[in-house]
Amino acid sequence: MNTTTAPVSLREHVVPVEAGAHVVGAHWLGSTLALALADGRVLRWTDSVSDQVEAHAGGILCACGDAERLMTGGDDGRVVALTADGGPAELARDEKRRWIDAVTLSPSGSLAWNTGRTVHARDDKGRVTSLDLASTPQGLVFAPKGYRLAIGQMNGVSLWYPATQTKPEFLDWKGSHLDVVWSPDGRFVVSSMQENALHGWRLGEKPSHMRMTGYPAKPRSLSWSHDGLWLASSGADAAIVLPGRRPTGQGAARMRRPPRQGHPRRLPPQGAGPRGRL
């Protein structure tokens, strides 16, 4: 059993940064920290020296990034990229100034965003293709390899190859799907749901379902561990860490292990915590 000793404090190792507005996204560009702020600014911080850029005419709604750039979407209908030292570069602009609710980048530099019910994808050569959906898309995420986009929406997740004309594959599960993550090995797609649950699919000829219900709140933040074996989730007083799948061998056994809770002092009452398997 875990003892209830006070947590070790790392507070003395924290350098405060005054951002001055709701922080929508935090992203490292090498040794420069970029903070996307709800008032439309991006604050860049490098070893306690900071500057700020007026990236959007309105507020920033979403942000993502890769090693070189931060990408933001705003309520001014623009998608803007920013590097550690340059000025903002406009990547897309919606003529009707529809809000950009979601942006995402692929490892190879492709990007995707939405305007209303339409999803747009831009490949690494700058070609843009668009897809109209029946419901407003929520989370967007590219597959770890290849030009394929997962789109969380009402009653399921669409898997779209933007470079082809083929109809997207639809992974259906009743309910509203919010954020979507793709496992680093490309074999699993997991979405967070409006009804305080995660839903996952093992991809393949016949995708199989994985359910994870019973969160006290919405698990809106999901992240894979560096080795891809664990998926950490918010939505409870504890950080719920789900055993992912080993790349080889023993996979099935590991997937059946119960979720692990990373907050030993605040375990929810028996039966009240998330349950299920991924």
Contact positions vs another protein (CB under 8 A) = 2, 7-11, 13-28, 30-31, 33, 35-37, 43, 45, 63, 67, 225-226, 230, 239, 241, 260, 262-265
**CA-to-CA distance for 120 and 168, rounded, in angstroms?**
14
Closest separation between CB of residue 103 and another protein, Å?
14
Closest separation between CB of residue 211 and another protein, Å?
24
Cα atoms found within 13 Å of the Cα of residue 11, Cβ hemisphere only: 3
Alpha helices in 101-147 (DSSP H): none
**CA-to-CA distance for 269 and 261, rounded, in angstroms?**
12
Order of all β-strands in the sheet with 23-29: 23-29, 32-37, 41-46, 49-54
Handedness of CA 172, 173, 178, 183 (dihedral sign): negative
Closest separation between CB of residue 20 and another protein, Å?
5
Closest separation between CB of residue 158 and another protein, Å?
27
Residue closer to another protein (CB basis): 14 or 134: 14
**CA-to-CA distance for 67 and 81, rounded, in angstroms?**
12
Residue closer to another protein (CB basis): 58 or 116: 58
Task: With residue 132 as reference, give the H or E element that holds it.
Answer: strand 128-132
Residue closer to another protein (CB basis): 26 or 154: 26
**CA-to-CA distance for 111 and 128, rounded, in angstroms?**
9
Residue closer to another protein (CB basis): 128 or 217: 217
Residue closer to another protein (CB basis): 27 or 56: 27
Closest separation between CB of residue 278 and another protein, Å?
16
Residue closer to another protein (CB basis): 36 or 190: 36
Closest separation between CB of residue 183 and another protein, Å?
17
At residue 94, the 3 state secondary structure works out as: coil
